[in-house]
Amino acid sequence: MNEFIVFSIMGIAFFSYSLLCSKKRKVIYTINKSNFVVLDDKYFDLQLKISIINSVIIVIGTGLTQVSQLGSIKSIILFITILIFWIMNFRLRRLAIIKKYAEIKK
């Protein structure tokens, strides 16, 4: 039950962060922040959509860890959930660059 609470809070916090970024139209935090530049406000809409998907995945993944019939694969489900979360975030950055919503300054 503890994992469910912790990861649900993480999902809600991530969604809140994305909502705040979308509302302010400003990136609050990224890895290598000084290099990442938003060129088009459509980036924030894309970020919000992906954060909604990510938050739902986190809640579903941690919810599955509470199903007693899954037994020994609970930790694998949790690992896969976290992996999907990070992959989605890195894909967001790549997709934004491909669509010319953002760029990495050298």
Token code pair at residue 12? 């809600």
pLDDT tens-place string over residues 43-67: 888 888 888 888 888 888 888 877 7
Token code pair at residue 10? 């993480």
Domain ranges of the chain: 2-104
**Residue 103's Cα: distance from chain center in Å?**
19
Token code pair at residue 44? 């924030």
On average, the pLDDT of the chain sits at: 82
Token code pair at residue 42? 């459509």
Token code pair at residue 37? 């530049």
Q: What pLDDT does residue 98 have?
A: 94
Q: Is pTM beyond 0.85 here?
A: no
